[in-house]
Amino acid sequence: MKKRVTLLIALLMASISYIYAQQLTITGTVTDKGLGDPVIGATILVQGTTNGTVTDMDGKFSLDVSKGDILHISYIGYQPQTIKVDGVQKVYTIQLGEDTQALDEVVVVGFGTQKKVNLTGAVSTVDTKALESRPVAQVGQALQGVVPGLNLSLNNQGGALGNALKVNIRGTGTIGEGSNDAPLILIDGIEGDMNALNPDDIENISVLKDAAASSIYGSRAPFGVILITTKSGKSGKTQVTYNNSLRWSTATNLPDMMDSYTFAKYFNAAALNSAQTVPFNDETIGRIIAYQKGELTTSTIPNSANGMYQFHQLANDNQNWTRNHFKTAFSHEHNVNVSGGTEKLTYFMSGAFMDQGGNMRYGDDDFKRMNASAKINSKVNDWLQVGLSTRFIREELDRPTYANDDPDNTANGIQVGLYYHDISRTWPTMPFKDPNGHYMRNSKIIQIEDGGRYKRRKDIIYTQANVTITPLKDWNIRGDVSLKAEHINKDENLAKVYEWNSKNEPVPMAFAGSYGPGATYAWSSAQDNNLLTTSLYTDYFKSFNKNNFKVMVGFNTELYKQNYVYAKRDDVISDEVPSIDASMGKDYTSANKKEWATAGFFGRLNYDYDGRYLAEINIRYDGSSRFLRDKRWNVFPSFSLGYNIAREAFWEDLSEYVGTLKLRFSWGKLGNQNTKEFYPFYPAQPLGLKNGKYLIGGQQPTTATAPLMVSDLMTWEKITTTNIGFDFGALNNRLTGSFEWYMRKTDDMVGPPEEKSPIIGIDNDKLPRINNAAMQSKGWELALTWNDQIGKVGYTVGFTLADARTKITKYPNDAQIIDRKNSDGNMEYVPYNGRYMGDIWGFETIGIARTDQEMQDHLATTDQSQIGSKWGAGDIMYRDINGDGKITTGSNTVGDPGDRKIIGNETPRYQVGITLGADWNGFDFRAFFQGVCKRDIWLDGNFFWGAVGGGIWQSIGYKEHFDYFRPEGDNMGANLNSYFPRPYFDANATKNQKVQTGYLQNAAYLRLKNLQIGYTLPNQLTSKIGLSKARLFFSGDNLFTISSIFGVFDPEAVGGALGNGKIYPLSRTLSCGVNVSF
């Protein structure tokens, strides 16, 4: 027994001795390869473990390791190194070289690529890792605030499913009639919708902002270009990647209604101020109080006149209708891609599916997107390469007819934004359901649930092929052909809706607008859009004695064709079969075919001397079918210069601190062919289908009217841009940044006819449009990034800031009229020479009169009778700016504005983006803030004011509206220092709701757009289960906002087709998911 124990101890000691023989302590020093200085804080980590250390103030380190370990040495701004421990060497001297990735980074530009260090135009790139890790439904959402000068904002459909953000580069570029200032968005060289892409498929994004960078694309890109390159395969073993995300979204901001008692008192006060009968009598208020105390369980009584249940003045429920209509929505997305290849052939394939649930509680809105793509690149031999790619996208949108904001729906008589307008006007006293369990009529739930559906399906197929021939070294000839085929189907029906009487019997109910009880219809439309793009270009590079030349010439064509068909028929036989074939009423049809084409010859010459002196010249000779033959072709030149001072010999002593300092200048001129109409210079004879005002054979005849006059003098809009900028990299590129200043002039915009018609008998609105307007924008952009490391913690801080202002320099408004009524009867500002876009004219507010005497004292010196009457306590006192003793709008001109002045500007100023990121031992953290530092906005209508002159049916009562003027003795308590004046339901409301300083809103905000925390599992764990990478993440979007705007509004969602704020709310989203590769 003793022998066995002795043997066991001997074996154990031998094992321990063997183990200790394999372990050792190493020491060393990490220095800068170029300067020899110690690198402080460099990380030395045993690969695949958490065993590591950092260098001290002298660049020295000590670490316990084992023979065979792989050491990974890294520090921000340097190229990382790996060293294998051989078990013999115990002292290491490690030299880290400068990381030149920032210098060698290749940026995608027009028809090619360039090293970032050699760029002379205003080009920004997007870190696509931010796209991959941020779970968003659209690419545009992830770009907001990331690139200075790239502006993305909500339109009047707000956060509705499938609604893309508005995009422009460097602010308003044109207000020309029929023109737009949207940038050209190219996906692998063909125009496309970036929001339909699977974000996981994107390899890189470049934003070309000035004319020098975008002029190679000619008249299609006068206001910049967004170039998106999708992923390609890489040689090596096959890799499979799967990503998913699960998302829960709620509205960022939903206003709360007053409780029913407060609402009743508020509405009664407005009625009494307007000398009207109060809407809530004492009996109803008594029932409201009893119901809120729980002493009464019924919330409505039958209407003796028609047998229906009361739902307004005589109802006594206590609902919060805005919140009733919205819910928390669930969405999920799944992406998978496969890539790999050999040196001769690479491939990339991907598929994605997203099911995005909407926030509508009733009627259910839903958006689905399916993506599939495949890309193959083959190096046939040393001089021939070919590539083929295809991409399929399907989008399906499904929502209630009543909440449909499609333009085709608007043509059918249902206003855009009607749903949001109606639910804002719903009273809290209205019951959710009647005593028999049926939805009450004015909640709009009946229309949403039973009134029909709108369905849109969009299919997009991209097919692209390219050939690259290399006859000689540094000479390439490339040919591309691309076809984008888009097919859009829309179907909608209006179904019968019913309310229920007190006998529990269904009664046909009016739907909305002109659709009365029992009205039904079915309509369908189909649209095909096809874009064929071909390009043939060649480039040649030559270098000698530090002189580097690159020349490119080419030819590009585009042919776009559109075919649209629409049909509608009233009186659907059965709502179960909502189709045109199953309808028997009046027919409505329309159809059109359109096309346009462009062709362009282009060239580019790049030169640099030793990376120090840089120059680029671009020229494009462009033609567009949208213009008359003698004005169809035009030449668009640009040039840019650069000077990298840091490459000079005299800068050598400073290169330790600033390694890159490049000055840039560019100038270019472009034309704009992006007109609203395909044929703006050709007269078209309007036709009306069966709309004659008399009958022929018992039928309304089709009519034709005279075409509008068209001027043959019309020509291109011309955009000239000057850009000055600089780029720098300091402290081993730990600190990098850029600054841009630019001036953009848009001349020959198409404006309205001159103020006085030169042709007797012809109204101004019938005169031909001509090139008679101009504008000028000036702005600047700043981008800074700091990357560093403290011990094992790597961190990054990014900051972007941009500002721009646009001024009208020419416009046919000689009288300089400030504002006027538009065709809808609403006031709109009129451009005039010298006006800045977004200027707000208004009165200056003194305050609210606390007593009748205070108002009378004010009126004794300032007559306000021209803007209102019956002034008293609780009304607004305006300042007499021009000193004439009265408040007026004068002649409504700049020269005579009366008592108005410019009180603010609604253009977003100083748009900011802040990125904070860190990583440690597999954990990663990222926070992104986006905001606007300065913006004024005038919010009008019932969403802001509550009670308005439209009466009780157009007024609103949110909690914020309770801060209205109440005199001493008011049974709701006095409120002499109120925010709002006393409310009215008649025309007197308008006297207090003039545009004025007292209610001008500060729409500046800072929003936490995204917060993400992730963890990447260690390699030694994932390798055991056959994975090369596995990451878990949690993410939140729109988590909180700092803003002083009036509480019922979201500062990003202030629009609305039927009034400020009446749009689909923006979403706050929480998500989680996994990213795995094997």
Among 822, 954, 1065, which residue's Cα sits nearest to residue 327? Answer: 1065
Higher pLDDT, 127 or 1006: 1006
Tokens standing for residue 316: 């006594």
| Polymer length in residues for the chain | 1078
Task: Please report the pLDDT score of residue 220 as a whole number.
Answer: 85
Q: Please report which confidence band the pLDDT of residue 759 belongs to, taking 50, 70 and 90 as the band edges.
A: low
| Residues 593 and 563 sit within 8 Å (Cβ to Cβ) | yes
Phi and psi at 960, nearest 5°, equal: -65, -25
Which residues, at least 6 apart from 111, have a Cβ–Cβ distance to it below 8 Å? 216, 535, 537, 552, 554, 602, 604
Q: Give the C-alpha distances (Å, rounded to integers) separating 34 from 78, 245, 788, 1062.
A: 11, 45, 19, 62
Task: Please report the pLDDT score of residue 1 as a whole number.
Answer: 46
Q: Please report which confidence band the pLDDT of residue 98 belongs to, taking 50, 70 and 90 as the band edges.
A: low
Residue 178, pLDDT > 60, answer yes
Q: What value does the mean pLDDT of the chain take?
A: 89
CA 66, distance to chain mean position in Å, is: 53
Enumerate the H helices of 280-432 as residue ranges: 282-293, 321-324, 407-411, 418-424
Per-residue pLDDT tens over the stretch 958-983: 999 999 999 999 999 999 999 999 99
Per-residue pLDDT tens over the stretch 20-35: 445 788 999 998 766 6
Residue 722, pLDDT > 50, answer yes
283 three-state secondary structure: helix
Segments of 495-612 assigned E as strands:
497-500, 506-509, 521-544, 547-570, 587-609
For residues 331 and 1011, what is the distance between their CA atoms, to the nearest angstrom?
Answer: 18
Q: Please report which confidence band the pLDDT of residue 4 belongs to, taking 50, 70 and 90 as the band edges.
A: very low
Relative orientation angle of helices 260-273 and 282-293, to the nearest 10 degrees: 160
Q: Among 187-201, 674-688, 945-959, whose mean pLDDT is lowest?
A: 674-688
Q: Among 143-157, 245-259, 315-329, 717-731, whose mean pLDDT is lowest?
A: 143-157
| Residues 1005 and 931 sit within 8 Å (Cβ to Cβ) | yes
Q: What is the mean pLDDT of residues 691-719?
A: 75
Which residues, at least 6 apart from 102, have a Cβ–Cβ distance to it below 8 Å? 116, 117, 660, 729, 733, 736
Task: Please report the pLDDT score of residue 757 as a whole number.
Answer: 54
Residue 126, pLDDT > 90, answer no
DSSP state letter for 835: P
Residue 273, pLDDT > 80, answer yes
589 three-state secondary structure: strand
| Residues 560 and 578 sit within 8 Å (Cβ to Cβ) | no
Among 719, 718, 720, 630, which residue's Cα sits nearest to residue 681? Answer: 630
The superfamily in CATH containing domain 20-99 is Carboxypeptidase-like, regulatory domain (2.60.40.1120)
Phi and psi at 815, nearest 5°, equal: -75, -10
CATH number of the domain located at residue range(s) 102-235 in this protein: 2.170.130.10
Among 324, 134, 298, 83, which residue's Cα sits nearest to residue 1069? Answer: 134
20-99 and 102-235: same fold? no
Q: Among 127-131, 468-472, 1055-1059, 1066-1070, whose mean pLDDT is lowest?
A: 127-131
Among 94, 96, 36, 44, which residue's Cα sits nearest to residue 73? Answer: 44
Residue 801, pLDDT > 70, answer yes
Give the DSSP H/E element, type plus range, for residue 132: helix 128-133
Per-residue pLDDT tens over the stretch 590-602: 888 999 999 999 9
Task: Please report the pLDDT score of residue 13 as a whole number.
Answer: 42
What is the DSSP secondary-structure string of 18-46?
Answer: HHHHHEEEEEEEEEETTT--B-TT-EEEE
Residue 101, pLDDT > 60, answer no
Residue 442, pLDDT > 90, answer no
Q: Among 394-398, 628-632, 1025-1029, whose mean pLDDT is lowest?
A: 628-632
For residues 109 and 640, what is the distance between their CA atoms, to the nearest angstrom?
Answer: 14
| Residues 484 and 530 sit within 8 Å (Cβ to Cβ) | yes
Phi and psi at 1020, nearest 5°, equal: -65, -20
Q: Please report which confidence band the pLDDT of residue 253 belongs to, taking 50, 70 and 90 as the band edges.
A: very high
- Of the segments 113-127, 358-372, 503-517, which one has the largest average pLDDT value? 358-372
Task: Please report the pLDDT score of residue 338 as a whole number.
Answer: 96
Per-residue pLDDT tens over the stretch 622-658: 999 888 888 889 999 999 999 999 989 899 888 888 9
Q: Please report which confidence band the pLDDT of residue 489 belongs to, taking 50, 70 and 90 as the band edges.
A: very high
Tokens standing for residue 406: 């499609």
Percent of the chain with pLDDT over 70: 92
Q: Kindly report the number of other CB atoms within 10 A of residue 1020's CB atom.
A: 10
For residues 15 and 563, what is the distance between their CA atoms, to the nearest angstrom?
Answer: 82
Residue 689, pLDDT > 80, answer no
Residue 559, pLDDT > 60, answer yes
Per-residue pLDDT tens over the stretch 831-890: 999 999 999 999 999 999 999 999 999 999 999 999 999 999 999 999 999 999 999 999
Segments of 682-826 assigned E as strands:
687-688, 703-704, 717-730, 735-751, 770-790, 793-810, 819-821
b/e 201-236 (16+ beta carbons within 10 angstroms → b): bbebbbbbbbbbbbbbbbbbbbbbbbbbbbbbbeee
Among 231, 238, 242, which residue's Cα sits nearest to residue 374? Answer: 231
For residues 799 and 857, what is the distance between their CA atoms, to the nearest angstrom?
Answer: 53
**In the chain, what are the domain boundaries?**
20-99, 102-235, 839-905
> Which amino acid appears at position 802 of this protein?
A
Task: Please report the pLDDT score of residue 157 as a whole number.
Answer: 83
Task: Please report the pLDDT score of residue 69 as a whole number.
Answer: 85
| Residues 141 and 1050 sit within 8 Å (Cβ to Cβ) | no
